[in-house]
Amino acid sequence: MTIKVGDKMPDGRFAVMTAEGPGELTTDELFSGKKVVMFSVPGAFTPTCSAKHLPGFVAQADAIKGKGVDAVACLSVNDVFVMDAWGKSAGAEGKVTMLADGNCDYTKALGLEIDASDFGMGMRSLRFALVVDDGVVAQAYIEAASAELAVSSAENIVKNL
């Protein structure tokens, strides 16, 4: 089942990098009582994700938060070390929380996984953005193909908040 507007976000855990090293962030900690924009990419350091998707949210983070959003988070089926390095290289610190879904568990719970084995990438996430209000999906922007970047772009999110 694919997550849709009005659905409660599934319970889960993400790996995040902390000052002490790898840590964990629960969905309750991320979403409870907050308005969050969570976007997902097929892979860290991949062309569209690195050139446009993450940089767009880094550049638009203040505009998004200025519209009443408490946090912006980037989800990817990568390990916490890759997500941390990617976030640092993109200047995401303090703007976008980098969430690692290393085993694709949370992405599968959302029903938004794709099999990218033909590209040597295994199970990955579709490209999407969700506006989550206190744990409930208020807006959902899911790309028709993972190579596309249109409805889930930071610019489209700013326009529709």
CA 43 to chain centre: 11
The token duo for 137 is 């999906």
Catalytic residue among 9, 36, 49, 126: 49
DSSP 25-42: EEHHHHHTTSEEEEEEES
H helix and E strand count, the chain:
6, 9
Residue 149 sits at the vertex; the CA angle it makes with 127 and 77, to the nearest 5 degrees, is 25
Residue partners of 102: CB distance under 8 A and separation at least 6: 15, 77, 78, 79, 80
CA 60/CA 39 separation, integer angstroms: 13
74 is catalytic: no
Amino acid at 150: A
Residues acting as catalytic residues: 49
